Homo-oligomer: A and B are copies of this chain.
Amino acid sequence: MPVNYATPAPDQLHAVAGVRLGVAEAGIRKANRHDLTLIELAPGSTVAGVFTKNRFCAAPVQVCRAHLAKGDIRALVINTGIANAGTGEEGLAAANATCATVAMRMDVRAEQVLPFSTGVIMEPLPVERIKAGLPAARTALKADGWYDAAHAIMTTDTVAKAASRRVSIGGKTVTVTGISKGAGMIKPNMATMLGFVATDAFVAQPMLERLVKEAADESFNCVTVDGDTSTNDSFVFMATGQGEARFDAVGAPGWDEFKAAVVAVAQELAQAIVRDGEGATKFIEIAVEGARSHDEAKAVGYAIGHSPLVKTAFFASDPNLGRILGAIGNAGIADLDVAKVKLWLGDVLVSENGGRAASYNEADGARVMKPAEIVVRVDLGRGGHAGKVWTCDFSYDYVKINADYRS
């Protein structure tokens, strides 16, 4: 059960002019489920992406990087079941063969296709099954295919994740719609996380590349479930230019409003991943302020958000302040003055001067730990920078899901 998240209804996911999506059952690893998704982009679309920093990055990620460098992307193909990671040269050949097949079916060149895979690592990708499933996915292509695609890219997700905004900027309507997947192996620098967001605005390539990085930093790069960065993480932003708005250069009128809409969609998609974190029963925002730098704030946020001791305490609704302070102390700030650190749970000041706040009592602590959404606020008292991390708790079900995953 995700924490305060439900998939939007199909009619809440606005179609994006120039984007069509189709899904099919290819039987890649399990029968009777949609496991193959095709996304078609109108000619002239611009596309940019950010990817995992894991050195064992998957074959499709390597192919995506190479194809994006050439530009003029016209199709995306996404399979679940098999991640095509840790598969060496054969994996690269399989990813390229997938692109070639899509290219043939869609009448484009192979380097105009971006491949994505998610699922079990180190198993060979069954390219023949993908080939066999592609005609059905192509036949299913439709502008309002976002809802079906959100479901078809799921792995251990318990709900499909999608978000959509339609805003008016300078009198012109702009649509931003996206889907994501991921529920475990989620961490900074992306996750076993796939995110696809499209807009009908025209966005010049250099601006799009900046936007995708900035949006990722404020969304997907703020989430962690278990501290593991996957081999396949990808976030792709597509701009078809089929709508009314155009953003040709830095400083284009309405850019800030546009960016805000993109970030809102990306944050909703990223938070949905944490809300649906494997075994999650709580959604936790860790807001760190008073840091010397943004990186320092994030380091403290992650030190708290990655601590199994903190996460099990949240699961138990236990205001175990010491574990949070211990995590802050482990964040690697060698000259941290603990006497200046302040810690709040929700609206309750729980720690200051290196110990428990004088005003704190356990009843308040128990009260603020109870809700399904909790804000942890830390003031490091050493600078003007801030950073946020979103995470979930650590429950029996996390172990169950990950111990049983392949069986």
Contact = CB atoms under 8 A, between A and B. Distances in A.
- In this complex, the member of A230, A339, A399 whose beta carbon has the largest number of chain B beta carbons within 10 angstroms is A399
B121 A322 contact: yes
B227 A306 contact: yes
B309 A355 contact: no
B228 A330 contact: yes
Contact of A404 (B231, B316, B327, B398): B316
Contacts of A83: 322
Given A185-B309, A330-B229, A336-B55, A403 B318 contact: yes
A2 interface: no
Contacts of A320: 121, 405-406
B399 A121 contact: no
Interface residues of A, number: 65
A326 B356 contact: no
Interface string A384-407: 000000000011101110111111
Interface in A353-407: 353-356, 394-396, 398-400, 402-407
A166 interface: no
Interface stretch (A17-25, A35-43, A88-96): A88-96
Given A122-B356, A318-B407, A321-B122, A309 B56 contact: no
A399 B86 contact: no
A357 to B, nearest CB: 10
A406 B334 CA distance: 30
A332 to B, nearest CB: 9
Interface string A74-97: 000000000101111111000000
Contact of A326 (B231, B328, B353, B398): B231
Contact of A395 (B231, B309, B399, B404): B399
Interface in A309-349: 309, 312-313, 315-316, 318, 320-323, 325-331, 333-334, 336, 338-339
Given A55-B336, A122-B322, A184-B309, 6 more contacts: A55-B330, A83-B322, A85-B322, A86-B351, A226-B307, A228-B330
